[in-house]
Structure 1
Amino acid sequence: MKPTTISKGFLFAGLSNILGVLIFSKFFTNEIMMNAQPDVMGYFGLISIVLWGLAYIAVRKNYEAVPWLIAVFMIEKLLYVIVYIRWFSTDALRAVYDQDLFAGIFYTIYGVNDFIFGLFFAWVFFTISKVKNV
């Protein structure tokens, strides 16, 4: 994969976090979304997700210089996927949809989104590690 394509991957990951949170949380006002998984998707959690998105964008031009930070991104995405699977397997997604369409859509896609970007970060980390012998 070309460096410019990888850089765009970081940009897309960041925008996915930032815009996903802002749109689906209705600019931090969607109580249904925040209450469905308050430990992770509460107000503070959503702000943290936006900050992670800014971090992805911040390294997009220099990702090769920070392989261990990319590993942190990979681990962070793994944790969100695990939390998503646990929530998805115990809570009724239909109940969220019944209360708010945006919250329902968010909870339908956030785990898959994090899984895909987790794979991307893993690939980048292991590719850099191989080249730099990290």
Structure 2
Amino acid sequence: MTLSHSTIKKGFIISGLMNMSVLIFSRLFTNNTITEFDPNVMSSFGLLMINIWGLAYISVAKKYALVPWLVAVFAIEKLIYGYVWIQWLLNNDISKVYKEDVMAGMFYSVYGINDLLFCIFFLIIFLKVIKK
């Protein structure tokens, strides 16, 4: 599988924008339902940090090849969030989130899928860059 520099750059930008979509789901950090259902990971501070990670992905979109180990860190970070999401799903009833707030329910339905997909993306890019 060959990925062009342009495609990879777009992947980093899309990943960052996906993280920043937390601003929409949290209604600019005013939707307390998200924090209520996972106060450890999705606290107001946690949601802010998700946005900071998104900015980090975007910041290296053009120069990812110069920072392969940072790309590996991105993959690990996404793996951790994906794992936490799976654990959350196994121990919680997502229908309760939807009953309280549809946007929060949508967030909890998709954030881990997004993280696991971008974990794979970052891992592929890391492996591609270190092979050079």
The 5 Å alignment of 1:1-134 reads: 1-18=3-20, 20-131=21-132
Query: Which structure 1 segments of 5+ residues have no match?
Result: none
Q: What's the TM-score, normalizing by structure 2?
A: 0.97
Superposed displacement of residue 129, structure 1: 1.0
- The C-alpha deviation readout for 1:43-89, integer Å capped at 9, x for no partner, is 00000000000000000000000000000000000000110011000
Please tell me the residue identity of whatever aligns with 1:7: K
Superposed displacement of residue 114, structure 1: 0.3
Larger helix proportion, structure 1 or 2?
Answer: 1
Q: Distance in 1 between matches of 2:26 and 2:43?
A: 10
Q: What's the TM-score, normalizing by structure 1?
A: 0.96
Q: Distance in 2 between matches of 1:2 and 1:32?
A: 40
Superposed displacement of residue 34, structure 1: 1.1
Query: Which structure 2 segments of 5+ residues have no match?
Result: none
CA RMSD of aligned residues (A): 0.5
Q: Distance in 1 between matches of 2:5 and 2:86?
A: 32
- SS of the equivalent of 1:61 reads coil
Runs of 4+ with >4 A deviation: none
